[in-house]
Amino acid sequence: MDILAIKPSTISVDIKHPATGNPIGLVIECVSMESDEVKVVERRIKAQALKARGQMTPETIDSNAMALRAAAIVGWAWDDALTLGSLSNPALTDANKAALLAVPWIAKQVDQALGDEAAFFQQ
């Protein structure tokens, strides 16, 4: 087995209602936190932190965590009846990712999925 051929794939995160555990009609496609898409954002954040020289605020730390989560989202599918505020089937933009991830129970589900490294290597 060539270990260089073992690469992560994307995963689908079926978002569930926090009270019922039932799918709400939103499936988010994510790449691994080790992916190139996420690493670009991570390096940008590190460069900013070095320039800030220890002047990071809690808000900046939260914003950076959200940016990493958002970078891992590479696609999504919305049920026709589901909206993001006034948007039906919203475009996959940084602003819409941020609005979605501002919902704590959704961010937790995305975090949990991103933390399951083995899931990215399922065959």
Work out the average pLDDT over 8-37: 96
The dihedral of CA 27, 33, 35, 36: what is its sign? positive
Count of helices and strands (H, E) across the chain: 4, 5
Residue 106 or residue 49, greater confidence: 106
- Distance (Å, whole) CA 16 – CA 35: 25
Q: How confident is the model at residue 5 (pLDDT cuts 50, 70, 90)?
A: confident
User: What is the reported pLDDT for 39?
Assistant: 96
Strand order in the sheet with 73-78: 11-16, 23-30, 73-78
Q: How confident is the model at residue 123 (pLDDT cuts 50, 70, 90)?
A: low
pLDDT exceeds 90 at position 104: yes
User: What is the amino acid identity at position 122?
Assistant: Q
pLDDT > 70 in the chain, percent: 98
- Distance (Å, whole) CA 111 – CA 100: 13
Work out the average pLDDT over 38-51: 91
Read off the pLDDT of residues 56-96 as tens digits, 9 standing for 90 and up. 888 888 899 999 999 999 999 999 999 999 999 999 999 99
- Sequence-distant (≥ 6) Cβ neighbours of residue 83 within 8 angstroms: 90
- Distance (Å, whole) CA 119 – CA 4: 18
HSE, side-chain direction, 13 A CA sphere, residue 28: 27
